[in-house]
Amino acid sequence: MKKLKGRMDESILVCVYYGPNGEKLIRRGCQIASMLDCPLYILTIDPKPFDEMDAEKSHYITRWKQLAEHFSADAFILKDNDKRPVSKVITEVAREKGITQIILGQTAQSRWEQIAKGSIINTLLREIPFVDLHIISVSRYLKDQEGQFEKGVRAYLVKDGSSYRVTFKHTKDAEYEGIFFKDQGTDFNNGVFKFMKDQKTLQVIVTEDIISDLTNVDLDDSLNDEDE
């Protein structure tokens, strides 16, 4: 049932991109919308038309639509075939829907890159200054019912020949920043490294500090485990 807004009521927009953190953002938005008893909108943006998206992207969009229906969101908004800057699209939707709060995910973009190049967040603060922004960090926990992994710690990847080496101190040679999840009960740095690459969240296997390739590993075969 749609919620009627009063003049001072809140309205929430969750912005999601491909990867496992999209579902986390939607659930967080649903929690806040439920507490405030206010409308909820879910937005994703892609420069390609929907019918040209690969199977992985189509899977995420289908899942997000299911979540939108499950949590009775007011609308799932897909802005496909839209090549404008992401901040422009978010601003447009926020104004059209009377949004008062926006939920975004924090990428692994370094603080220095944000300072040097600016960010979506800074642009939104200029474009729609009266909207509250909620920045949700990349999860430091993997979905792991059997307790296989320890709590995640900040780590970096440095090129080592044809492979990558995990380090825990930032240097000028670090190519990626992310979270390392160490296997329980091991004396070596074996586990999973979670990071952002080309605007996608990847999870790759680490064996004794080394990542032989950056192939994504899906540690959760089903996205339905957390449905409530």
- pLDDT given for residue 100 in this prediction: 95
* Whole-number Å distance between alpha carbons of 133 and 206: 34
- pLDDT given for residue 67 in this prediction: 92
pLDDT along the chain (228 residues), means of 10: 55 86 87 92 92 82 92 94 91 95 70 53 88 76 59 90 93 90 82 83 89 78 37
* Whole-number Å distance between alpha carbons of 210 and 204: 10
Class of domain 12-136: alpha beta
Which stretch of DSSP H or E encloses residue 26? helix 21-36
- pLDDT given for residue 18 in this prediction: 76
Neighbours of 200 (CB within 10 A): 15
- Local structure of 218: helix, strand or coil: coil
Closest CA to 207 of 178, 185, 186, 179: 186
Domain spans of the chain, in order of start: 12-136, 153-211
- DSSP class of residue 173? T
- pLDDT given for residue 38 in this prediction: 94
